[in-house]
């Protein structure tokens, strides 16, 4: 309906489908994470990595920096390591 009302809206949603394709393809593999908790941990890590990508950060650089800082960071500053607030040192 929106496509008919607004001519500038693209007729397909390939961009969205391409963004969720890796998740849909990996779903079968994630069934065998070992346990429910392992699956939940994997989901958290994948969410962080994808959020880092969406915020313009390289996932590898982001994770390296976060894992280096995490042990010495006070608990009150952990939210600074979230992808939307993270700044590399």
Q: Which residue has the higher pLDDT, 62 or 14?
A: 62
pLDDT at 35: 83
Domain ranges of the chain: 2-81
Does the pLDDT value for residue 33 go beyond 70? yes
From 75, 56, 54, 52, select the one nearest 64 (Cα to Cα).
52
Burial of 1 (0-12, 13-18, 19+ CB in 10 A): exposed
pLDDT, residue 72, reads 92
pLDDT at 28: 67
Mean of all residue pLDDT scores within the chain: 83
pLDDT score of 37 = 86
């Amino acid at each position: 309906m929106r496509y008919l009302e607004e001519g500038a809206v693209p007729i397909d949603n390939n961009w969205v489908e391409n963004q969720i394709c890796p998740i849909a393809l990996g779903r079968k593999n994630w069934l065998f994470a070992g346990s429910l908790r392992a699956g939940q941990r994997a989901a958290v890590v994948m969410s962080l990595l994808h959020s880092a990508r969406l915020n313009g950060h390289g996932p590898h650089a982001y994770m390296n920096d976060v894992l280096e800082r995490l042990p010495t960071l006070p608990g009150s500053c952990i939210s600074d390591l979230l992808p939307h607030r993270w700044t590399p040192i």
